[in-house]
Amino acid sequence: MPQPARTTPVATPLPDAAHRTVEVPGGRIHLVEQGTGPLVLMVHGFPESWYSWRHQIPALAAAGYRAVAIDVRGYGRSSAPRDVADYRMLAHVADNVGVLRALGEESAVIVGHDWGAPIAANTALLRPDLFTAVALLSVPYTPRGDVRPTDAFARLGGGEEFYVSYFQEPGRAEAEIEPDVRGWLAGFYAGLSGDAASSSGEGGFPLSTVPPGGRLSDRFPDAAPAGWLTEADLDFYAGEFERTGLTGGLNRYRNVDRDWADLAAWHGAPLTRPALFIGGEHDAPTTWMADAIKAFPVTLPALSGAHLLDGCGHWVQQERPTEVNALLLDWLQSLPA
């Protein structure tokens, strides 16, 4: 069972931003927005929240954009359906369309990190009439392929269990995480940080597999998260997940085969909208998916640039906010009006 929320008060972040909850066909989506101008919709990954864009929201707003970061369904104050199938990719795409319409906008640029990257990519793929450009952080675009995803992930584990496979069974990962949400999050964030990966010499791989009969946290580093994650930041994340639990976020992983079936009509389809990719040198997906990056001339024909940040880990927009903001703004300002 999820732990009760921490009683330690956490200061309200981004006091100049506004919180709203909007109705979408699948329920409600909580969002945080600041600024006026063309809409930039930001979609977070696992295990994060709108808060993972705390460095980008004010920067984009100051540059003349309407910066909006959502809590993905299952997170924060957004709806958390009970059915695992309600977290399929098509539902996330529909949520993004619903947010766009609820905000009274006709189009948006969409930006995604971690699981938010494939959500953003598929949103632009399925609704290019509404989403005019897409920026992907950490996870490169990969068109639907021939191999069922759970089969592919099983192969990646080798003699151990790949973490995506470990997340498949409802309740299994929750039983590991929820007795100590804050401690687990601290270890997970630290383990995928650039400093941890570079010091380990394993290029971001320590948290990719689970030993037989073990837990993912068995591979967590002893060191605390690097300076990019303060105690107040960790308190905010922990407070969110102690209240909601982790099932909503984990259910995204539990739909990979369902997504593969749903997206059969887009098998091998390139993403033709203007695109940007930003990854970290020590970000595991940039290694596992190196072939996807090499395929960008075919899969992302309108790509403006693919950037790997030296020494950076998985949490690119939090670890390197100044660099990411500069890359995003340069790209946004290059897009057709």
Active site residues: 114, 314
182-198 burial by CB neighbour count: b if 16+ within 10 A, else e? bebbbbbbbbbbbbbbb
- Of the candidates 34, 24, 167, the one whose C-alpha atom is nearest the C-alpha of residue 102 is 24
- In DSSP terms, 111 is beta-bridged to 42, 135
User: CA 115 to CA 88: how far, in whole Å?
Assistant: 12
- Coil, helix or strand at residue 297: helix
108-145 burial by CB neighbour count: b if 16+ within 10 A, else e? bbbbbbbbbbbbbbbbbbbbeebbbbbbbbbbbbebbe
| Contacting residues for 241 by C-beta, under 8 A, at least 6 apart | 2, 47, 181, 185
- Coil, helix or strand at residue 209: strand
User: CA 53 to CA 58: how far, in whole Å?
Assistant: 9
CA 66 to chain centre: 20
- Of the candidates 88, 55, 39, 32, the one whose C-alpha atom is nearest the C-alpha of residue 317 is 55
| Contacting residues for 209 by C-beta, under 8 A, at least 6 apart | 157, 158, 160, 161, 162, 163, 219
Q: How, if at all, do strands 39-43 and 66-70 pair?
A: parallel
